[in-house]
Amino acid sequence: MGLSRPAFTDLDISGLWLSSARLARKTNSLHQSFNAVLHASKLGDDGAAIENAKLLWREDQHRKAIQILQGAIKSNKFMTQTGTSTSTSSTKLSPQQKLLTARAQLLLAKWLDSAGQTHAGALREKYQQPPKTYSTWEKGHYYLGRHYKKILEAEKPLKVDDQSDNYITGEVARLVIENYVRSLNSGTKYLYQTLPRILTLWLDLGAQVDKAPEGKVSLSRELHRRRVEQLNLLHSFLDKYIHRLPAYIFYTALPQIVARIAHQNPNVFDRLTHIIVKVVEAHPRQALWSLIGIMTTRQVSERKARGTQILQALRNVSKKVEGSTFDLKYLLRMGEKLAEQLLLACQNGDFHGNKTVHASLTRDLRFNHKCTPCPLVVPVEGSLTATLPAVSEYVKKHKAFSRDVVTIGSFLDDVLVLSSLAKPRRLTARGSDGKLYMLLIKPKDDLRTDQRLMEFNGLINRSLKRDTESSRRQLYIRTYAVTPLNEECGIIEWVPGIKTMRDILIGLYASQKIYPDYTVLKQLMDEACLSDGKTRVFTDEVLGRFPPVLQLWFAQQFPNPSAWFSARLRYTRSCAVMSMVGTILGLGDRHGENVNLEEGNGGVFHVDFNCLFDKGLTFAKPERVPFRLTHNMVAAMGIYGYEGPFRKSCELTLSILRQQEETLMTILEAFIYDPTLDLQKEKRTHRRGDVGVKLQPQSVVDSIKRKVKGLLPHESIPLGVEGQVEELIKQAVDPRNLAAMYIGWCPFL
């Protein structure tokens, strides 16, 4: 029986050639890319003109690339893709023709923008063309919104008298929001770049309606009227799209939405309520964990009153929870009961001393097991993370969570109370699947910043996976679920098989009968700080007492040579990623208990993100190193130390952070400017007796931007990626900086 050959058209074959050309271009194989473009062009694919122009642009032939694209658009080259009409009317074009035309128009707009070859008005018209040509293409709407955002940011630092009416009235901000929302309606590729920015701009716009412009004493009646008009236009637009957009899109930013329920503008609050109700109605078992904070808040404030209103709106929803026999009201009641008991378990019990002890959940923590089984999902990363559609066509029908969700069945009675200052307790939950899940409940700590930072780390992981070089090296940050219960307590997903670097090193030194005498060590370190000439006191007398031993742990833990090599490589690379990310974020307090190693694969795992945004510089003993890179850590990296995979992974990570600056800053600004977080008010207690210093959001943002651009403090010329990495490593291993560290940081381990 003969097999029939599949019938491929010239268009199918040319499409594959163009895909090959695109992949070759992205891997810098320009000769192969040109070859593939030539094949596609011979088959009559007009999309080859776009790819050819991109190759010319890559080879720095910018003027020629722009001319080719302009000529192709002017001659209606993309209107004849299927050999039908040559009419320029976008209504008569096929989707393929519309997409090709819109792609060419957007590319031209971006290049003219980059080259600075046209004035603002003409450029705006260029960016407006792609969405008009193909209204369901998310990229066109995104870049138009991005163009308006650039205008917004250009006007922001100007004096009030120099700012345009469109900026002061909020019209430019409205245009950014509207185009970003239209982009979300067509796909989720730019979700993390757009949604946090939409919320930030909208909430700021609502808050500024009644405020006088900066530098002005009062708000004129006319300006107030125009601002209200712009906000009303925006709200009528949002009402339409809150209904249209799928709930999982808003779920990805639910902590940011819930954090702003005390917004002073009642019209904004009404729409926030609609969004929250929509999300909880669609994904109740997952979304209610974000609402537990408003169920249990201890603040007697507008926030609590607003929270009560939202909970009442949810109780009025009569719809049954998907895949169950109960309604949302029952789920809310069970969620509240569980939250109350978890808070009691967090606060009860009288534990002293510096040893880890076992306790009874019922007897010692007075936990009432009647709150279980609870239909909420187990609060671990796998259960709480929404998946996004791979293809934009399925945005509306996509299921963000599996139907087989794992809910909380019961809690085991045995609790592990850890030795650290806050006495966090490790609980063990049995899931509805019969498996055991360990959760750490942490008292006396506001975990909302940690939760938002985990979202940020998740975004970095996605960027690392998308990049060819970092993906090949399997660069990543180990993340875990953080669920605040209120402003003072929360749940952290327990990651099994981790051990603090301090415990590992103390154990290895003890096996060699080496024990740290902290009193003597502090005296020696203080002496080493007296002058540059005394640095040898630290390098010879302090470090001389503690020869590097961390490499021995890898040999003991991974006796198989192949496993040992893989673990050491994973350790080196994961250490590099977090070193760069931590530096950009100003992450401090990286003592031996906050840096852990994964016993199964050697990866580095960081915990406790209290000390962010260069707070370490405000301590009584300012932290002078950008990240932890002690002699033990360097020795464990192998014969090359930090010169091999560590340096290369640092450069790759920093390069990706620079490429993704806009996206990362969008996420960071959303929580730096969040008034409910503790950035501007010191809530956490430092062990060192340091006085809390208020951080100004704008100065924090400026500091992060400077670091991403490679600008050192008090310098005006940016360093390249390699130069910045070199400087940071120098600072991290400089014995003068290490000797000046706080004794509890243990620079000798």
DSSP string of 344-382, one letter each residue: HHHH-----SSS-EEEETTTTT---GGG-SEEEEP-SHH
- Average the pLDDT over each of 86-95, 263-272, 449-458 and give the range with the smallest value: 86-95
Rounded to an integer, the average pLDDT of 440-457 is 86
Contact 286, 383 (CB under 8 A): yes
Among 294-298, 466-470, 629-633, top mean pLDDT goes to 629-633
In this predicted structure, the answer to whether residue 683 has a pLDDT above a threshold of 50 is: no
Burial of 581 (0-12, 13-18, 19+ CB in 10 A): buried
In this predicted structure, the answer to whether residue 581 has a pLDDT above a threshold of 90 is: yes
How far apart, in whole angstroms, are the C-alpha atoms of residue 609 and residue 447?
9
In this predicted structure, the answer to whether residue 483 has a pLDDT above a threshold of 60 is: yes
In this predicted structure, the answer to whether residue 5 has a pLDDT above a threshold of 70 is: no
- Average the pLDDT over each of 176-190, 307-321, 537-551 and give the range with the smallest value: 307-321
Token pair recorded at residue 80? 């004849």
How far apart, in whole angstroms, are the C-alpha atoms of residue 630 and residue 381?
31
Residue 674, classed as helix, strand or coil, is coil
Rounded to an integer, the average pLDDT of 331-347 is 88
The DSSP bridge partners found for residue 358 are 416
Give pLDDT, residue 173: 92
Rounded to an integer, the average pLDDT of 595-613 is 89
Give pLDDT, residue 3: 58
Give pLDDT, residue 77: 66
- Average the pLDDT over each of 211-215, 356-360, 515-519 and give the range with the smallest value: 211-215
Share of residues in the chain with pLDDT > 70 (%): 91
In this predicted structure, the answer to whether residue 293 has a pLDDT above a threshold of 50 is: yes
Contact 330, 285 (CB under 8 A): no
More confident residue, 143 or 695: 143
Give pLDDT, residue 225: 87
Token pair recorded at residue 694? 């208020």
Give pLDDT, residue 44: 66
pLDDT digits (tens, 9 = 90+) for 118-166: 788 888 888 888 999 888 899 999 999 999 999 888 888 888 778 888 8
CB contact set of 384 (below 8 Å; sequence gap of 6+): 286, 289, 377, 481, 483
In this predicted structure, the answer to whether residue 669 has a pLDDT above a threshold of 70 is: yes
For 609, half-sphere exposure in the C-beta direction (CA atoms, 13 angstrom radius) is 27
Give pLDDT, residue 689: 47
Token pair recorded at residue 649? 């992974």
Among 9-23, 140-154, 298-312, top mean pLDDT goes to 140-154
Burial of 686 (0-12, 13-18, 19+ CB in 10 A): middle
In this predicted structure, the answer to whether residue 688 has a pLDDT above a threshold of 50 is: no
Give pLDDT, residue 85: 40
Rounded to an integer, the average pLDDT of 414-440 is 87
Token pair recorded at residue 654? 């920093």
- Model confidence at 176, pLDDT cuts 50, 70, 90, reads very high
In this predicted structure, the answer to whether residue 274 has a pLDDT above a threshold of 90 is: yes
Provide the mean pLDDT of the chain.
Answer: 84
Contact 368, 326 (CB under 8 A): no
pLDDT digits (tens, 9 = 90+) for 489-527: 889 999 888 888 998 999 999 998 888 888 888 888 888
Among 288-297, 515-524, 631-640, top mean pLDDT goes to 631-640
Give the other-Cβ count within 10 Å of 30's Cβ.
14
